Structure 1
Amino acid sequence: METFWNELRLMQGLLAAFVLSGLIGWERERLGRGAGLRTYILIGVSAALFVVLADTLIFRFADDSEQVRFDLVGVLGAVVSGVSFLGAGAIFSDRRGQGAKGLTTAAGMLATAGVGVACGLHLYVLATGATLLFLFTLGVLGRLTESVKERENPAGQSRPDGEPE
């Protein structure tokens, strides 16, 4: 029965990652981005799960053998690499070669993995603070950026090369 309660305690990190990642995902979903609520929740909860599993393995087997190497930093690196691979798939160039699209989505995925890792380590204040910063960046700063772009190039105007925006 003790194992059940221990595992339930470990679920706290996953549940926190679910909520916080969901907030970031909802912001993206609200804007109609390709990666939204479900994707961000899966990224955040998966990152938390990998950290919880690695931490549990270290705790269970660290004293058994000096020949077995435990590396939580390696797990963090694997999470970053895996999410970066997903993010790279979200980035593409537009047809006119004017720039890359999906960079904010890729960065949001990586940020959400960071929130998940913090939740997996039970660093809830840090995870919540980071989530609030990310939401501010995506929401308030995103709207500010859009309004500046609109003022610089009102609807219907052409760019210097003659192409419409």
Structure 2
Amino acid sequence: MIQILSQTEIFLRLLLATLLGGLVGWERESNSRPAGFRTNILVCIGSALIMIVSIKLYVLFQASRAADPSRIAAQVVSGIGFLGAGTIIREGFSVKGLTTAASLWAVAGVGLAVGAGFYFSSISGTVLIILTLSILNTVEHSIAQKSGLKNLRIKVFDQPGEVGKLGSVLGDYNIHIIDVSIDHIRNEPNIYVNLQARVPSDVNQNQVIQHLAQTSGVIQVEWKDSGS
């Protein structure tokens, strides 16, 4: 039988949800991610509150066979996807915000655990979430650098043959193009060509940029390491 929650217990659970959600949100905010400090706190508090309401409804209507404390809380798992989807942005060939969306989903889980009174699970989960977002971020960037993946964003005149010329220049340096996309610029006769490429370790990147910049039709070249 589920114990009736006191007002003090409810307040403490919501307070803990605020703290744990804030810890994850602080990490996201410090890295200038779309969903930061307040967003993570609200997600965690909301999830905890929904879980508390589910428990209290079960206690209130436990005589009914239809009473199920997990029914309302289960909607958080699917519903949080809409909020997470709002943080995902496609920029050329790069998809950004997946980690932030996943962190929101995880924080919702933390909130549900707090609301259910699973303190060890919620605190342990928060610690692991923060470690994943902070420490493993460095590991992920290190793997991307060792693999030689680079992102090239090149602004060129919108005319036939431009992509072919860029591919020819990169081919001279044995740079293998993995993905290509084009962004049109409103009210300009120019486009952005986005390239994801695998670059050999012995290639001088500055020399490649200079060569591309000197190619006819090229206006601007930006080169970044591939990362999440």
TM-score range, shorter chain: 0.7 to 0.9
Q: 1:101 to 1:70 in 2, by over 3 A?
A: same
Q: Give the structure with the larger strand fraction.
A: 2
**What are the within-5 Å matches in structure 2 for residues 57-72 of structure 1?**
57-63=57-63, 66=64, 69-72=66-69
1:1-165 to structure 2, matched below 5 A, reads 6-63=6-63, 66=64, 69-95=66-92, 98-153=93-148, 160-161=176-177, 163=195, 164-165=223-224
Gap change, CA 1:153 and 1:71, over 3 Å in 2 = same
Alpha-carbon offset, residue 69 of structure 1: 2.2
4+ runs deviating over 2 angstroms: 147-165
Instruction: Tell me, yes or no, if the aligned pair for 2:18 and 2:41 is still in contact at 8 Å.
Output: yes
Compared with structure 1, are the counterparts of its residues 154 and 81 closer, same or farther at alpha carbon in structure 2 (3 Å cutoff)?
closer
Q: Considering only aligned residues, what root-mean-square deviation do their CA atoms show, in Å?
A: 2.4
The letter of the residue matching 2:15 is: L
Segments of structure 1 that go 5 or more residues without pairing to the other structure are: none
- Decide whether aligned partners of structure 1 residues 154 and 53 sit closer, same or farther in structure 2, where only a CA change above 3 A counts: closer
Aligned 8 A contact 2:54 2:73 in 1: no
Greater RCO (CA < 8 Å, at least 6 residues apart): 1
TM-score under structure 2 normalisation?
A: 0.62
TM-score by length of 1: 0.84
The residue identity in structure 2 corresponding to 1:58 is Y
Distance in 1 separating the partners of 2:85 and 2:149: 31
Aligned AA (1:93): R
Do 2:44 and 2:107's aligned partners in 1 also have CA atoms closer than 8 Å? yes
DSSP 3-state at the match of 1:90: coil
Q: How much identity, in percent, do the aligned residues show?
A: 35
Cα gap change, 1:147 to 1:45, in 2 (>3 Å): same
For 1:39, the aligned partner's letter is: T
The structure with the largest alpha-carbon Rg is: 2
Amino acid at match of 1:142: N
Aligned pair in 2 of structure 1 residues 126, 149: CA closer, same or farther (>3 Å)?
same
Q: Distance in 2 between matches of 1:44 and 1:156?
A: 35
Structure (1 or 2) with the greater helix fraction:
1
